A and B are shown apart, each in its own frame.
Chain A
Amino acid sequence: MTTTTQDVRLREPPPHERLRTPARRGSRALTGWSFAAPFVLIFGVFLLLPVAASLVMSFTDMRATDMRTPWAVEFAGLGNYTRLFGDDLLRRAALNTTVFVLVGVPLTMIAALAAANAVNSGLIRFRAAFRVGFYLPVVTSIVAIAVIWRFLLDPEAGLIDNLLGTIGVDGPNWLGDTRTSLASIIVMAAWRNFGTLMVIFLAGLQGIPQHLYEAATLDGAGRWAQFRHVTLPLLRPALLFGAVITGIGYLQLFEEPLVMTQGGPLQSTLSVSYHVYNQFGLGNYGYASAVSYVLFVAVVALSVLQFRLLGNRDD
């Protein structure tokens, strides 16, 4: 049976019950922390400290010019956070990011589910080749993907508009038109990311006992009924996990618009992370940190929401 990462976290490390004397306890602490020390030291300085510093910075008016004297900045109270509400660019970025998540996550999951089911089917051969092929974009640098996709979507020399041209359709300027730019980014992100989910779903599918399908066949269930009533319910942990990690990743949309559109045209592909990056570029470090913390809260909220909606329905 499969378990989600959440269950794993709740499991206790094995206790060494017989060794619970104070002396052993002290030496256990020494051993444990000495194994942990190298990681903790670097993690503390380069990850934990920045997360804390970011929170502090978000309540200051720190700018790039304060870079060498970060301790001398003025506290701005909630100033950065109240400024968020009047920021039209942020509102636009939040809207774009929401659309990206709401359309992108289901699209990616459906593509991954279809691929996983097709590859997992006992009817076909060359399964490994298909699996490797679908996974290829995941291991490819976003910069290389951008080179490929900008050319695919090029209104003149691009493959897509030329293909459309052969059936008499006048293809749009995908990335240059505000009506198609975000949609192009969504499709590209789904294309790039569905391979990861496919592998997760495949692992889930292989954990479903074959006899359940045999029993369903005996009961006269067709392929669709089997998928609907056997596969989907038993795949729930994998689907939940897939939705959560894709949601967390997609809320942070940044690289795709950076390499494809620089947030344009007319902010139609500006995301929240991209807005943070732009504010960083303008030197507004305090404000950039405040926006990034709002994104952090949104990531946590989305994860909790997905666990509520999709998880533990049987309990």
Chain B
Amino acid sequence: MTDRLAKIGLYTVLVLGLLVVVGPFLWMALSSFKPEAEIRAVPPAWWPRDWSLANYAQLFDRLDFPRYFANSAIVAVLVTAGNLVFCSLLGYALAKLDFPGCKALFLTVMGMLMVPGMVLFVPQFVLVSNLGLANSYAGLVLPFVAGPFGVFLMRQFLQQVPDDLIEAARVDGAGEWRIFWRVVLPLCKPALATLGILTFLTSWNNFLWPLVVATTDDMYTLPVALALYSIGQNRIYYGLLLAGAVVVVLPVLIVFLALQRHFMRGIAMTGLK
């Protein structure tokens, strides 16, 4: 009897919670198919009366959305590739190669995790501008390709790889780079998957840096474009924004649903081992 009550209570809490968390997303998706007047209707209705793709058509007519989409994708792919390469190399060195200075290096990199974004923001902007990289892919990508988080994750993972495997390859006469490429990297696949997904997602959603560095329309990423058409505007076209928001969220949602166990493991792995 108490089990039954507890069960009902739990389901009530969970379903209510789900409604509060996922409900707004459903409402966003449904409303993106409503004409502007219907979106602003009082009282608001959940289900669209006249289904319309007008808001999505506007994304292409009024804004250059394919371009923003491509920019977001290019930046996210480059940032992800960089982190996978650089962080796995350093993560391996820190976990398995006991070299002079490795401890100081590790502490320096981890210390960076504590540095607020705003400390970096101003000097990074001065640096990137003076290197002539403002409003370029290099300027959007380079400050993010060597992230301390990735080093932490890869080192954590690699510490669990038995030394014997590496030692055996060494005894067989394999060079250090060959060991890394043939023995270590194949073992790292789960960690690389997790790091890749988390990095791609962070980059896709990154907002402040591209907002400041991308100064012309052809370099905007999706969040920047969406923000510039919504923040501080007096006349808000909700229909356009909702359709834009759906386009921003959809790729992430698909990746997330397909690979959600990697997300969960990544969070759990870096949080608690």
Interface residues, chain A, with chain B CB atoms under 8 Å away = 2-5, 8-9, 11, 13-16, 25, 28-29, 31-33, 35-36, 38-40, 42-43, 45-51, 53-54, 57, 67-68, 70, 114-115, 118-119, 121, 123-124, 128, 130-137, 139-144, 146-152, 156-159, 162, 165-166, 191, 195-196, 199-200, 202-204, 207, 223, 237-238, 241-242, 245, 248, 251-252, 254-255, 258-259, 262, 272-273, 276-277, 280, 285, 288-289, 292-293, 295-296, 299-300, 303
A159 CA to B31 CA, complexed, in Å? 12
A135 CA to B252 CA, complexed, in Å? 12
| Residue among B102, B126, B142, B222 with the highest chain A CB neighbour number at 10 A | B126
| Known contacts A2-B273, A42-B142, A142-B205; A288/B97 CB under 8 A | no
Indicate the size class of the contact surface on chain B. 35 or more
Listed A/B pairs (14) with beta-carbon separation below 8 Å: A4-B272, A28-B97, A33-B93, A50-B119, A54-B119, A115-B17, A123-B6, A140-B25, A141-B223, A152-B24, A252-B116, A273-B116, A285-B126, A295-B116
| Residue among A36, A152, A157, A166 with the highest chain B CB neighbour number at 10 A | A36
Q: Which 7 A-B pairs have the closest CB atoms?
A: A32-B99, A203-B268, A50-B123, A35-B93, A144-B245, A42-B146, A200-B271
| Candidates B20, B97, B125; contact of A191 at CB < 8 Å | B20
Chain B proximity of A144: nearest CB distance (Å)? 4
| Candidates B122, B205, B236; contact of A289 at CB < 8 Å | B122
Q: Which residues of the partner chain B approach A4 to less than 8 Å between Cβ atoms?
A: 272
Chain A proximity of B132: nearest CB distance (Å)? 11
Q: Are B268 and A251 in contact, CB atoms less than 8 angstroms apart?
A: no
B127 within 8 A of A: yes
Chain B proximity of A264: nearest CB distance (Å)? 10
For the residues of B in contact with A, the DSSP-based class is: helix
Q: Which residues of the partner chain B approach A143 to less than 8 Å between Cβ atoms?
A: 207, 223, 226-227, 230, 245, 248
B27 within 8 A of A: yes
B1 within 8 A of A: no
Q: Which residues of the partner chain B approach A43 to less than 8 Å between Cβ atoms?
A: 109, 112, 146, 148
